[in-house]
Amino acid sequence: MNRANLFVLSKQHLTSDSDDGEICQIVNNVGGLHATGSTTPYLSLHARCCQFVKEDLDVELYSKRTPGKVRCVRKTIYIHTKDRIPIVWKATAGQVLRASKGFMASRGVTDEVYGKLSQDILQMLRGREMTAAEIKATLKTDSDVSSILYFMCDHGLLIRGRPVKGWKDRSHQYGLFNDYFPDINLEGLNANEAIITLVKLYLASFGPAREADAAWWTGLGKTKVQWALKELEDQLVEVSIPEIGEGFIMLQSDRKRMEAFKLPREPVINLLPSLDPYLMGYKERERYLAQENYSLVYDRSGNATSTIMVDGRVVGVWDFEGGGEPLVKIFLFRELGKPLRDEIFTKAEYLGEFISDMEVRVMECASMIPLSERTAGSFMSPLKGSTDLYSHAKN
């Protein structure tokens, strides 16, 4: 067992001794929940909270409004808590707004058109929420309303609200940011303060990590991250990880915790969704993935598929197929022995029941097509087309 890996797993609420905690505590500890895919945050929390039900996150997001969705690191939508939103927004606003304004321009929306329609949208959403289709129909415009809404969200004027038809739906309502978070001042920090804080928060969630990992995860680039690390140097320590190498950085406050960390007696098994925070936490992934299996887990754009992990190392892939008889498929990279396989299948059943709200079958695939040989988006259904199934592993 790799102590560093298991220590990070513990910080990520992925070991049995991890405190389940409140949802907002978990969101902070894992560096935010990846929320580009509608189901990912629910499945990430399910992997970390024994008693989690889908409504728990909905209550936090749309009733209590303690966390919210914001585009930030790597121009990606994350769920962050109210205290973190100003930090991640200010640190990444430059890269995010350039990209979203460029997208809006590519859709034919001029500054003049945006100026008028954005004001109309702000008036329209006072005291209520609407979908993109409803907003477009009310505006009676041929302009690309979706790109305008994206830019308004990225600018801190709007926020993505409740999904229209439940947790799996990619369509959602839009509301006014100030209606959700009247006390948040997005300009309360200057950019440099926000960048330093963001890099420190990254190390708190994912350290020990390398400088390249922090630069990739934040999307800020090498120069800014090097500067931030220099500003933080009296709070940091460099360590090595056996079998991986040197040059890893962590918070000094974490070093003693890692050295005192008690290794679990039993194997730590996790079934993580695609784009889970832990899977997307590092640029250099040899710490948890053998190079020969890289194309089975990451596509050509670096998106992580749904994985099976043992002691912080990826040992396989899982997939879910709905329909009249829901099915969880798994593909294991190597033989693990019956006790481990049985436990994996038990967890797969539990996961499938969470997704489908009914009993599921679990089947094992004999082979898998590498994601690098498939079309974009295939990481969302990694075992699609894998019809060479064995019987249930426990038989």
Give, in degrees to the nearest 5, the angle at Cα 370 between 364 and 371.
110
Residue 365 has what DSSP assignment?
A: B
Distance (Å, whole) CA 378 – CA 386: 13
Which of 279-283, 331-335, 388-392 bottoms out in mean pLDDT, i.e. has the lowest?
A: 388-392
Phi-psi region of 263 (alpha: psi -120 to 50; beta: other; left: phi over 0): beta
Measuring CA to CA, which residue among 87, 76, 167, 153 is closest to residue 121?
153
Residues facing 176 on adjacent strands: 158
Q: Is a pLDDT exceeding 60 seen at residue 391? A: no
User: What is the number of residues in the chain?
Assistant: 395
Backbone CA torsion sign across 101, 103, 106, 109: negative
Distance (Å, whole) CA 352 – CA 335: 23
What is the distance of C-alpha 79 from the center of its chain? 8
pLDDT digits (tens, 9 = 90+) for 78-117: 999 999 999 999 999 999 999 999 999 999 999 999 999 9
Distance (Å, whole) CA 66 – CA 58: 11
- Residue 394: its pLDDT value, please? 46
- Under the banding of pLDDT at 50, 70 and 90, the label for residue 387 is low
Average pLDDT over residues 249-253: 97
pLDDT digits (tens, 9 = 90+) for 18-65: 766 799 999 999 999 999 999 999 999 999 998 999 999 999 999 999
pLDDT digits (tens, 9 = 90+) for 133-183: 999 999 999 999 999 999 999 999 999 999 999 999 999 999 999 999 999
